[in-house]
Amino acid sequence: MAEKFEDIVKKIEELSVLDLAELVKVLEKKFGVSAQAPVSAPASAKATADKEATADKEEKSIFTIVLTAAGEKKIEVIKVVRDITEKGLKEAKDLVDASATGPQVVKENVKKEEAAEMKKKFEAAGAKVELK
Summarize pLDDT for 48-96 with one digit per residue, the tens: 655 555 555 456 788 888 888 888 888 998 999 898 888 889 988 998 8
pLDDT band of residue 34 (cuts 50, 70, 90) is confident
Domain positions in the chain: 62-131
- Rounded to the nearest 10 degrees, what angle do helices 74-85 and 112-124 cross at? 160
Residue 39 pLDDT:
53
Q: Which CATH number among 3.40.630.30, 3.40.710.10, 3.30.1390.10, 3.30.530.20 corresponds to the domain 62-131?
A: 3.30.1390.10
Residue 53 pLDDT:
52
Question: Which strand ranges, in their side-by-side order, compose the sheet holding 128-131?
Answer: 104-111, 62-69, 128-131
- Give the mean pLDDT of the chain: 81
Q: What is the pTM of this model?
A: 0.53
Residue 49 pLDDT:
57
